[in-house]
Structure formats: C-alpha cells, structure tokens
Structure 1
C-alpha cells in the first residue's frame, strides 16, 4: 500500500499557482545600444543566460533596444552591483521610444537621455560602438549573431558573442577569473532586488575555491 504524506507544516504544503512572471532569481544587466541619431540608449533587463562566449538575452519586442539592434547589431552588457539598484529602478520606467508604445503608456515615459536620468556615466568601448556603463564592475562588449522571434510577439531572443570583457581590478582573481567573493551582482527575484548574500559553497571545478577544500570536493 502506498502511503501519501500529509503535510502538517504550512511551509511543506504545495499549491498550484500561475504567477505572471517566473523571475526566480536572475542577474540584472544594462544593455547599451546605438540610437538612429548616434546617441546611446540604455535599458535594464534580466532574462539572461550564457554558454561559453555566447549570451542569450530575452528582450521586449516594443523596446528601443531591439529596434537599435536590428539596425546596428552591437551592444554592451553591463552588470550592476547591489548598490546600484535605485539607478536600475529609475531606468525601469523610461523608454527611448517616441511616441511611447500604447502597451507602455501607463507605466513608461519617454526619455532620450537615459544615462543622465539614471545617474550613470558612459565610457567608450574598445571594439563596439555602444558605450559601457562606468559604474558597473563587469562589462561585456558583444556583437549580435542571431535574433529569433519568440513564440509570441512579446519578446525576441538575441544571441550575442562577447568580443571583450572588462572587469574592475578588485574583482579579478589570478588566471583571469572573476572572484565571486569580491563582487556582488544585483539579482532580480519576483520584482525585488537582492545581492548574492552569504557564500554557501562551491562546485568542485571552481577555480576560485580554497585549494585545500576544493581538492576534497
């Protein structure tokens, strides 16, 4: 006979839900692209994953970022730390689209000078036209290799190859590794901002784990 466990602790119970978003916890990044007039657009996003030197970014269809990438397929991807969450939130209500798309009219306002509005500063890139965000300790210069429409009209999947990485000296460990103890990226989880918090452990292949313990694992 199979015995079904009946939870007595409310924290053990499971409910079937249908949340509007599924941002369990992803890094916030700021995408800089080139506007038609040669100025720079800056937009926050958090749909991201990476494999090797390739990034896959999920970007909204009706944003200026996608329009810019279709015309000029270069970008920078800049990762803010937890202390920058207010700058990110200021950007979240702005769009460079003019007029503002109807679906965004009640939540966004037109703003062409995104860097200034967020209190951030642009610095020149080496290999691509869009600038980097000076305040971000980790910055990627990238070139778009493919753009794929999503299964509906709300988003586009952008595959971009990273052609140069800039990292603040204070977060770089020996061997060109990012030291995860020295840098706290901004994390977006169900519309709230967090940093990484306390370290819990590491994988056995981590190049920045303590050597003596890493060997055991």
Structure 2
C-alpha cells in the first residue's frame, strides 16, 4: 500500500456524530452537534471549540447528555450544527423533543436511540479547544437496540460517522443488520492464546 506524507490542518478519520444536550444557567434546554468524542468505561471525553455557547453552558452547569442519533435524524443533526445556541432554541428549530433525565439536570433527546447522562469531572483547555472529561452516570438505550436479555444488538446500532479533512467533510453510514462478533477474524493457531 503506497502512502503520501501530507500536511493538512484536520483529519476526521471517522467519528460518530453526537448531539450534546444541556441546560443553560437560566434552565433553558439546548443542543450542540459534535463529532469529537470517545468513552472508556464510565469516562467520556468531548472536544469543543473554546468560544461556543454549549461549552459555556456546560462549564456553568456541570452536567450534560450525550445523545447518539441515527441516520433518520440527519436534518436535525445539520440544523443543530449550523445554528448557534446563543441565538436559537435548537430543540424548537430542529423539532427534537427534550425529555427529563433521571440523574442529571440536562435533557435527553427523545428521538435519539442512545442517551448517556453525564457529569463534568474536569475541563482541560488546549489552544482553541476545551476538552470535557465527564462521568457517565446513566445510560438509556432504545428497546429496538436491545435483545430479550437487555444486551445491545450490535447489528442494530446505526450511528452516523463524520469523515474528511480541512478541504471537504462528509457523513458515512454503517450497513445495518451486519456485524461480526469480536474475535471472528482471529486465525486458528497453536502457538498463540488469543485473549
């Protein structure tokens, strides 16, 4: 495989699009579209631009919800990404529905199949960005994504991925109903014990 060493400003190699919901200091719910996130166990990390409305509200309130939309919500994803929460009520603008959370003071998005209630653990500012490290305190998963034993049906999850560079960015989608179990591609070997 030939490769080029290139100089580019950004590279999005495939991050799930999320809708982060929160209340501002006045108790008004709002949303932000994000693609910079990862989670490990009960820890979640989000990346925000330093001057945005969402990070200001999350900094003040200290709680938020990470909502994972599917491809049926593309219009809402873009509305929330192309408008400012300082100027608009993005729930009203996008037609999404805020629902009370169980453990945090932040709304869930009713239309998103996965919602994670979170509390801010700490903030780290780096250049023009703010990294939010949070604790996941409650998970909500649509019944359509769960089997009879309340285990996640991996093949049913339909996230939207954000890919591209500084020149052009796009959305990518998974093929639904297709998933391979972890370990499926390990070769049979006598000299290695796969863990």
TM-score, normalised relative to structure 2: 0.85
Q: Which has the larger radius of gyration?
A: 1
Q: How does 1:1-217 map to 2 (within 5 A)?
A: 12-97=1-86, 110-111=87-88, 113-150=89-126, 152=127, 154-190=128-164, 191-197=169-175, 199=178, 201-204=180-183
CA contact (8 A) 2:79 2:90 kept: no
Q: Which runs of 4+ in 1 moved over 6 A?
A: none
* Structure 2: unaligned runs, 5 residues or longer: 185-193
Alpha-carbon distance between aligned partners in 1 of 2:43 and 2:49, rounded to the nearest angstrom: 19
CA contact (8 A) 2:37 2:44 kept: yes
Q: Deviations over 1:132-169 (max 9, x none)?
A: 0011000000101111112x1x1111111111001111
Residue 12 of structure 2 aligns to a residue whose secondary structure is: coil
Between Structure 1 and Structure 2, which shows a larger proportion of strand residues? 2
CA RMSD of aligned residues (A): 2.0
Alpha-carbon distance between aligned partners in 2 of 1:167 and 1:83, rounded to the nearest angstrom: 16
- Taking structure 1 as reference, are residues 69 and 21 closer, same or farther at Cα in structure 2, changes over 3 Å only? same
Q: Deviations over 1:168-217 (max 9, x none)?
A: 11101355432111121111112211221263633139xxxxxxxxxx99
Q: Deviations over 1:74-94 (max 9, x none)?
A: 000000001212211111111
The alignment covers a number of residue pairs equal to 181
Alpha-carbon distance between aligned partners in 2 of 1:96 and 1:79, rounded to the nearest angstrom: 19
